[in-house]
């Protein structure tokens, strides 16, 4: 069923169905971490940890009440928040993972069982107004069908001056050599390797197609500003394949 959902999405059918996207991630949950490590050659961990260090530096506080990781998946960024905070001598009272994919969170609970996981979508989180110091989402905002509503929800839950941290594969509208290399990798290599590891090639065909249909870095900046999140750091990594956004709630 989930494989069928991935195939429908990769073929451009029911692209607006959040349910199909959730089914797809449930299907690849058990192999997701391994596929990520292979496909990124481990660089994704560096991207995440750099974003965590930057966020703590920008915030400048030694104690945080809550970090909410949206589309938390198998909990990798939650683990990074915990370890980077410890390395910097920063106390974080609560780290909460939010995701509509139960399959992904079940894997996450085995990796970080002492933290809270909540089944919910980005656009409707059961969290109090102004209750989080940070809200993060790594490689997940692209899969939120109601993206603008999700960003508005982030603003609602963030404290004033709190930070929104987004890592994502934004659409590269350049036509230089770097863009051509990254597009070749995404379209011609990633689906085969991801399919081999996960036994679900359709899911990894969806990935580059979803990037191509996604917004550009400039458009993401405008969407953040529209909900009261002011970007203070925006940078592309690895031939602009991955972009980190850090925005402050004003």
Pairing relation of β-strands 229-237 and 242-249? Answer: antiparallel
Do 96 and 115 form a contact (C-beta atoms < 8 A)? yes
pLDDT value, residue 31? 67
Tens digits of per-residue pLDDT, 168-219?
Answer: 988 777 777 766 777 777 777 777 777 776 677 777 777 777 778 889 999 9
pLDDT value, residue 245? 98
pLDDT value, residue 1? 36
Q: How many CB atoms lie within 10 A of CB 118?
A: 16
Spatial CA neighbour of 67 closest among 144, 141, 149, 162: 162
Q: What is the dihedral of CA 189, 195, 119, 61, to 10 degrees?
A: -30
pLDDT value, residue 213? 85
Helices (H), the chain: 2-10, 18-40, 43-59, 76-87, 102-111, 147-157, 177-184, 190-198, 201-213, 217-226
CATH topology of domain 42-171+214-249: Rossmann fold (3.40.50)
Q: Which residues contact 208 (CB under 8 A, 6 or more apart)?
A: 183, 186, 187, 190, 191
pLDDT value, residue 4? 39
Do 198 and 28 form a contact (C-beta atoms < 8 A)? yes
Q: For the chain, list residues with pLDDT below 50.
A: 1-16
Pairing relation of β-strands 91-99 and 63-70? Answer: parallel
User: Please, which residues bridge with residue 235 across strands?
Assistant: 244
Question: What would the 3-class secondary structure string for 153-212 be?
Answer: HHHHHEEEEEEEEEEECCECCCCCHHHHHHHHHHHHHHHHHHHHHHCCHHHHHHHHHHHH
Domain boundaries, given as residue ranges, for the chain = 42-171+214-249
């Amino acid at each position: 069923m989930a494989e069928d959902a991935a195939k429908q999405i990769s073929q451009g059918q029911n692209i607006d169905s959040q349910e199909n996207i959730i089914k797809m991630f449930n299907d690849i949950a058990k192999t997701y971490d391994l596929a990520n490590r292979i496909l990124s050659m481990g660089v994704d961990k560096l991207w995440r940890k750099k974003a965590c260090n930057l966020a703590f530096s920008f915030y400048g506080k030694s104690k945080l009440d809550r970090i909410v990781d949206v589309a938390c998946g198998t909990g990798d960024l939650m683990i990074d928040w915990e370890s980077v905070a410890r390395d910097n001598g920063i106390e974080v009272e609560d780290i909460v993972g939010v995701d509509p994919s139960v399959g992904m969170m079940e894997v996450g609970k085995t990796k970080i069982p002492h933290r809270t996981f909540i089944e919910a979508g980005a656009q409707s989180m059961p969290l109090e107004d102004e209750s989080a110091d940070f809200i993060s989402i790594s490689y997940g905002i692209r899969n939120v069908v109601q993206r603008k509503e999700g960003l508005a929800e982030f603003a609602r839950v963030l404290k004033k001056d709190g930070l929104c941290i987004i890592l994502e594969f934004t659409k590269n509208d350049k036509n230089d050599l770097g863009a051509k290399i990254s597009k070749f990798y995404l379209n011609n290599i990633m689906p085969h390797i991801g399919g081999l590891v996960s036994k679900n090639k359709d899911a990894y065909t969806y990935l580059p197609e979803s990037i191509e249909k996604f917004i550009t870095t400039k458009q993401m900046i405008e969407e953040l500003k529209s909900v009261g999140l002011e970007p203070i750091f925006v940078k592309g990594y690895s031939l602009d394949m991955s972009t980190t956004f850090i925005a402050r709630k004003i």
